[in-house]
Amino acid sequence: MTIPLKYNFGSLWVRRVGTLMTALGIGLTVSIFIIMMALVNGLESTFIDTGHEDTLIVIRDGSVNEVNSYYNRDLFQTVRLLPGIRVDDNNDPMVSGELVVVINHPRVTGESSNVIVRGTSAIGLKLRPEARLVDGRWFKRGLREIVVSEPLSRRFQNMRYGNSLHMSRSDWKVVGVFNAGGTAYDSEVWADYEDVAQDWDRPIYTSILLRATDLIAAKEIQRRIADDRRIHLQAVSQKEYFRSQSFSSIGIKALGIFIATVMGIGSCFAAMNMMYAAVMSRSREVGTLRALGFSRWSILTSFLIESTILALLGGVVGCLMALPMHGISTGTANFANFSEILFHFRITPKILLQGLAFAMVVGVVGGGLPARRAAQIRLIEALRS
């Protein structure tokens, strides 16, 4: 015979101030957990969402990132003539030679950070259809023009539409703002390849981006590039290239788990305190329940359910408190290229469920001992008290 849930809700309601405070304590813990996980998730999915399976990025063999890859311009022709490369409407192969440089630039808040500047081409823009103009137009060759991503233009100085900023040896004009749909390209400044190569005096490529006709052709191109010992290049799938950068989140992830664990332990003790107080002040009630014929087991479950309800209430409060953080834009260092990567806090149903599960664990662990104590209360003594 089980004790009706109504009894538990009633008991929690009677001591509502205590219930609310304990739930709020658990809720704050859960919200911190959710926010940290949303941070990690936002950072990781920025990398995971970037790139296309049929697109390859060619970098120097042995490099792991564009910023430390470089090779001669003549290799471009070798790559461009490989079979299996898709052609665009004008019958041009979809291959873009690119030069990535890093600048140190002040944020709006004053401190500075590294920003990726990509010298690319008209084909390069076609290869990244996810990037759409929201303001102005794309850059033109020879005019020292740049197009800045929307989040970057909000976060860094002099990067708004119409601004002008000094990079390398020239003043560059911001002629457009683009949005790359929350991908890693949302952390970049784009300009014409020739302009960047001239201004930085680096007549080289750091990478070549190309689109294969299909996945099989992509595999074949990868194999051909790897097998050609003269060129010392490697082709990686664009998707894989960015996915492998998501290790930048390790630090935040570890910090988040550490914080959640320690706070979780603290919350368990707080919940235990509350539940012990509940058990002690209700020993008469427990005695009555026993006298009515409820078993020790029912009493144990009932108290355990009560503490779980309390914790879940906290969990729900925590979810609600964390939700406003969703979509807020922030940035950190991408350890693959030591430049700023911009992303959003991303709360998913999965993270919310994890938060609730976390709260439930707190409830069960915190309520376990007090519930056992309640089940051990002896009928006669309890009624006499």
Interface residue list for another protein (CB under 8 A): 17-18, 21-22, 24-25, 28-29, 31-32, 39, 60-64, 67-68, 101-104, 111-114, 168, 201, 232, 250-251, 254, 258-259, 262-263, 265-270, 272-274, 276-277, 281, 330-333, 338, 340
What stretch of H or E contains 209?
Answer: strand 207-211
Closest approach of Cβ 64 to another protein, in Å?
5
Cβ nearer to another protein, comparing 43 with 221 = 43
Cβ nearer to another protein, comparing 113 with 354 = 113
Closest approach of Cβ 83 to another protein, in Å?
28
Cβ nearer to another protein, comparing 68 with 298 = 68
Based on DSSP, count helices (H) and strands (E) in the chain, helices before strands. 13, 14
Residue written as tokens 């959003």?
A: 344
Cβ nearer to another protein, comparing 155 with 211 = 155
What type of residue sits at position 273?
A: N
Rounded Cα gap, residues 224 and 230, in angstroms: 11
Q: Please provide residue 137's backbone torsions phi and psi, each rounded to the nearest 5 degrees.
A: -140, 175
CB 95 within 8 A of CB 108: no
Cβ nearer to another protein, comparing 68 with 163 = 68
Rounded Cα gap, residues 160 and 145, in angstroms: 13
Closest approach of Cβ 18 to another protein, in Å?
6
CB 162 within 8 A of CB 215: no
Closest approach of Cβ 62 to another protein, in Å?
5
Token pair of 133, please?
């103009």
**What is the distance, to the nearest Å, from the Cα of residue 333 to the centroid of all Cα atoms in its chain?**
13
Closest approach of Cβ 328 to another protein, in Å?
11
The half-sphere exposure of 67 on its side-chain side, counting CA atoms within 13 A, is 15
Closest approach of Cβ 355 to another protein, in Å?
15
The angle that helices 349-376 and 296-322 make with each other, rounded to 10 degrees, is: 150
Cβ nearer to another protein, comparing 91 with 104 = 104
Q: Please provide residue 47's backbone torsions phi and psi, each rounded to the nearest 5 degrees.
A: -75, -40
CB 93 within 8 A of CB 83: no
Closest approach of Cβ 312 to another protein, in Å?
18
Cβ nearer to another protein, comparing 54 with 199 = 199
